[in-house]
Amino acid sequence: MTMSSPSTPTETAARCRAIIEGVAPEVDCGRFPIKRVVGERVVVEADVFTDGHDAVRCVLLHRYQPPNTIANTIDSGAWTETEMAPLVNDRWSASFVVDQLGRYEYTLVAWTDRFATWRRELERRIDAADILIALQVGAGLLEAAARRASTADAVQLKQFANKLSAAPNAATGREAALDANLSALAARYAERGFATRYERQLAVIVDPPLARFGAWYEFFPRSTTVQPDQPAAARHGTFRDAEARLPYVAQMGFDIVYLPPIHPIGRARRKGQNNALLAGPHDTGSPWAIGAVEGGHRAIHPELGTLDDFQRLLLKARELRLEVAIDIAFQCAPDHPYVKQHPDWFRVRPDGTVQYAENPPKQYQDIYPFDFETEAWQPLCRELTDVVLYWAEQGVRVFRVDNPHTKPFFLWQQLIAEVKARYPASIFLSEAFTRPKVMHRLAKAGFTQSYTYFTWRNSQYELREYFTELSQDSGREYFRPNVWPNTPDILPEYLQHGGRAAFMTRVTLAATLAATYGIYGPAFELMEHRPREPGSEEYLDSEKYQLRQWDLQRADSLAPFIQRLNRIRREHPALQSDWRLQFLPIDNEQLIAYAKTTDDLQDIIVVIANLDPYHAHFGWVELPLATWDVDPERAYRMDDLLGGGSYLWQGTRNYVRLDPQGVTAHVFALRSSVRTEHQFDYFT
């Protein structure tokens, strides 16, 4: 058998001796970008080495890519160069700050540095005659560097070369050769003719800070009327009613108001209350059954108001420092205009009827999914992209996308890229409660944030394992979690049976474990807990199928508690990112303890929660004081930001007790003598 010879490298490639491997961060060999927000630092590491004993140098190249431009080659555009520093075991590191929305690119260049190698060897030489010969070699290297240098620097390099070649003795020449100014000057004009450039050009998508830290509040505009004395048919809320609800949401400290679909609702096969197959004359149907004679995905439900009313809502929200998120649900009611205009966008069953959505045994007779395997897939995808662009043109910058995992990945990759090229501040939240790899692929495809499994993680072990994965695994480079204790679709069993304590615990965990979280209200703060039937996660009298009246002034509302949580989040930078989450040992499985800190340790938050909504529990928690630069021999203060009061602790191990009849969690700010300069006004 004859074996083929490996391909022979070109002469240039063969002489590029530096090796670049193990670059991080890098997602799927550079196929997908990492994510950051404006002002964050990108730390890049790589294994860089060469054969033999020559000194190696490497630099990080990075540049901003303006929207709507594409770099066709790695040499296009202006690169900023940052010297990389050695760590251990041939690992190198450098960083850069992303200070503009949009896209950045980065790559690496490395080479063997002859002057640095020569200088390092000179330091070890002891024989005078040997040193004098080495000085002549060094002078030659400096003469070569002078030919690459600017005029002023060339003069200095030649002067140094003369000092080395004309040195009266080894000691004098050696001293001149080891001059720190000479090292810096020579490094500036190193020979890079055979430098190795990393074969990939990696990307960073830079989002607004709201993509990393924020609190979402979902409500149905149609249930915002404040006229409960009117008959059922007259209670449909409007955008004006929703506008009046905004100060309530802002006062609780939320950042984003999320509205379920605002489009006309189909009448054909409309669902009744509690998902009944037959709707009554006054039943409003599900907002996710989009489209009717009044229009489709670019239209507004006439009972909500007009486009002008919607834009007024956007303006009012921004006056209150709120962003409005709308729902993008790519599906149709049977009477959506698309069904008649583009029948080839839908799948037809053997009996000639259009295939409705189903997830056996669940059936959604009021919803037609698109068929992305149609021959007309290109105009279909173009239209769906234009739908999102239309709402972006109206001023929307935040989009919650319904069931994106039931549409092709390529659609989202193209759609999100096009929208963000025009509107770089856009945020896309993926509502995909599905398999982990599918959720991660959607994040890679461009989704800014992702729903998570938090809703079903209740035990200490489950929470520790899951949030360690979210905050520490490599997926954090592109997968940003957005955690919700409830949604209109999901009333977890924990909330059905745990009473007030369960709601307090879950919102505390959501607000402190993750930098971004959301609640479906007013169902959450009013502790709606009745399932449609035993074993179901569907709400009884679900707002998805009918109008609801909510008494926001109820004395037992959790709104003040949530307001305090959100104020704590805004006042404490440690709670505004995910990556510095650290779980703490505690000797009771019904308690969970964790900490979040800032990089400079000027803000240290410790959260301890009782996961049992029925019984009091106590335990001993261990704090890593040495890691936090806190003297364990001296007392330090733990201010309870949530429940009030302060505790003096000493040492690494301390006692806690939490009773669900009171506040179910401590949110402590650690105060020690070493950081008395960092004060917070907790309860203004």
- Is 467 a member of any domain? yes
Neighbours of 14 (CB within 10 A): 10
Which pLDDT tens digit goes with each residue over 123-150? 999 999 998 999 999 999 999 999 999 8
Q: Are residues 409 and 491 in the same domain?
A: yes
Q: Are residues 120 and 109 in the same domain?
A: no
Q: Are residues 418 and 543 in the same domain?
A: yes
Q: Are residues 552 and 457 in the same domain?
A: yes
Domain containing residue 78: CATH number:
2.60.40.10
Q: Are residues 499 and 601 in the same domain?
A: no
Catalytic residue annotation: 402, 431
Which pLDDT tens digit goes with each residue over 362-375? 788 999 999 999 99
Which pLDDT tens digit goes with each residue over 618-642? 999 999 999 999 999 999 999 999 9
CA 381 to chain centre: 26
Which pLDDT tens digit goes with each residue over 404-458? 999 999 999 999 999 999 999 999 999 999 999 999 999 999 999 999 999 999 9
Roughly what angle, to the nearest 10 degrees, separates helices 409-422 and 436-445? Answer: 30
Last residue of a domain, one of 206, 233, 248: 206
- Domain of 178? 115-188
The token pair at 60 is 């990080």
Determine phi and psi for 404, rounding to 5 degrees: -65, -20
Last residue of a domain, one of 542, 574, 606: 574
Does residue 360 carry a pLDDT above 90?
Answer: no
- Is 370 a member of any domain? no
Distances in whole angstroms, Cα of residue 375 to Cα of each of 338, 346, 384, 450, 472: 16, 11, 16, 31, 43
Q: Are residues 127 and 198 in the same domain?
A: no
Q: Are residues 536 and 606 in the same domain?
A: no
- Is 602 a member of any domain? yes
Q: Are residues 106 and 119 in the same domain?
A: no
In the prediction, which pLDDT does 362 show?
Answer: 79
Q: Are residues 267 and 202 in the same domain?
A: no
Number of domains, the chain: 4
Question: In this structure, which long-range contacts are made by residues 190-193, counting pairs with CB atoms below 8 Å and at least 24 apart in sequence?
Answer: 190/57, 190/111, 190/113, 190/114, 190/115, 190/116, 190/145, 191/111, 191/113, 191/114, 191/144, 191/145, 191/148, 192/109, 192/111
- Is 367 a member of any domain? no
Domain containing residue 566: CATH number:
3.20.20.80
Last residue of a domain, one of 527, 552, 574: 574
Domain containing residue 175: CATH number:
1.20.58.80
Task: Among 201-205, 278-282, 489-493, 606-610, name the one with the lowest average pLDDT.
Answer: 278-282
Q: Are residues 244 and 318 in the same domain?
A: yes
Does residue 565 carry a pLDDT above 60?
Answer: yes
Given pLDDT bands bounded at 50, 70 and 90, which one contains residue 680?
very low
- Is 346 a member of any domain? no
Domain containing residue 600: CATH number:
2.60.40.1180
- Is 533 a member of any domain? yes
Does residue 230 carry a pLDDT above 70?
Answer: no
Q: Are residues 496 and 473 in the same domain?
A: yes
Does residue 498 carry a pLDDT above 50?
Answer: yes
Mean pLDDT, range 633-652, rounded to an integer: 95
- Strand residue runs (E) in 235-317: 256-259
The amino acid at residue 604 is: I
The token pair at 674 is 């070493």
- Is 527 a member of any domain? yes
- Is 374 a member of any domain? no
Q: Give the integer Cα–Cα distance in Å for 211 and 40.
A: 12
SS3 content of the chain, % helix, strand, coil (to 5): 30, 25, 45
Q: Are residues 587 and 665 in the same domain?
A: yes
Of the candidates 497, 530, 494, which has an alpha carbon nearest to the alpha carbon of residue 509? Answer: 494
